[in-house]
Chain A
């Protein structure tokens, strides 16, 4: 069955430390890949997306993600976390352009930033 897995439900990181959020997918072919962030009381904001080409993708707010086909992974990273990065992060996939908008989301990873 097709699936998106975020293994870490909750991550605590110190301000200024690096952050890596994991995402694994299970699809027949490489889907289109996305990372979204959701702050309390807010909707989802797109951080970055991968369609094809360079496997290292740069996004907003200093985030980047690396697509690894051999591992079916699309992990999100930030070198130095700010207190404002505390939020919930969702990995999402769209299986094809025909299914665009029919995103399948992971369960999310809650990020807590400590002083």
Chain B
């Protein structure tokens, strides 16, 4: 079992650019959540996808958007990158919306 996989592992972007991060959930999981973890802080919830729809959303601007595909994988898109978007982005998957969430190793995004 591959667990939750995220790509890429590291990424450097320039302010104002756009970025796409990818997540493949653990086998058998159909729900994906995204979190932003700034340095020295706990993860903050961005949004959750289930059945290809955004089900819940945290306090993040519309520059943050996502998508879930029929195979349950998911993308996180961030437009007009700011320096403050530099963080570790974590993906978590679960089977349904009310079961244990498994986290990937994250994508480290650096905005310069």
Contact = CB atoms under 8 A, between A and B. Distances in A.
Q: Is the pairing of A and B real? A: yes
A93 to B, nearest CB: 11
Given A43-B90, A43-B106, A101 B101 contact: yes
A99 B101 CA distance: 13
B33 A107 contact: no
Contacts, number: 56
Interface string B73-112: 0000000000000000010101001101111111000000
A61 B54 CA distance: 35
Interface in B47-85: 48, 56, 58
A108 B97 CA distance: 24
B105 A103 contact: no
Contacts of A92: 42
Interface of A: 4, 36, 41-46, 49, 90, 92, 97, 99-108
7 shortest interchain CB distances as A-B pairs: A105-B42, A43-B103, A44-B103, A43-B105, A100-B98, A101-B33, A101-B48
B90 A100 contact: no
Contacts of B44: 105
B43 A101 contact: no
Contact of A41 (B31, B41, B45, B105): B105
B43 A90 contact: yes
Nearest to B32: A101
Given A41-B105, A43-B105, A49-B100, A103 B41 contact: no
Residue from the set B41, B43, B48, B98 with the largest chain A CB neighbour count within 10 Å: B43
